[in-house]
Structure 1
Amino acid sequence: MHIQLRFFASVREKLGLSSQEVEVPREVQTVGDVRQWLIQRGDVWADVLAPDRALRMAFNQQMCEPDRRISEGAEVAFFPPVTGG
């Protein structure tokens, strides 16, 4: 399945890229699976997307939970929580 990844704010800065098109393996079915799959890349990916890091996720520009199923051509985005002040 082919999807578009987007990275924002500190996630973008640490990874050094704002977007990437990828072909995910068949077993990657949810937004949470995408995160885990990216963590397996190791190095900075494992650090920035680590399970203990607070991250917001979006599917096709709508906030979502990790169990949101993905689909062909979808956009999956990762960004830090936004705080007010």
Structure 2
Amino acid sequence: QKPSEKAQAQAILAAASENPSLLEPARNYLRSLIDRVASSGVKSDLAKVVFLATEGLQLLELVDLIRLEPAERQRIQSCLTQLAQEIQS
């Protein structure tokens, strides 16, 4: 993420901590994505794992709980991409 995107996402999370109802549209959006994955006909549980791992990695980086070197992040992303491709085949 670009620093400006990270700052914007952190501001949204801070605002949501004051008013959790602000997260409702995001919850609805994510639920619809997960439902779409589940009904896609692919191995839905594995697809959910890849999706949630990707989102979790982004969140951990966003809140600065994990700092990965660019090469390490690229390797992880490559693994997730490979898993996603295997799920589709």
Which structure shows the higher strand fraction?
A: 1
Give the TM interval when normalised to the shorter protein: under 0.3
Which structure shows the higher helix fraction?
A: 2
What TM-score do you get using the length of structure 2 for normalisation? 0.24
What TM-score do you get using the length of structure 1 for normalisation? 0.24
* Structure (1 or 2) with the larger CA radius of gyration: 2
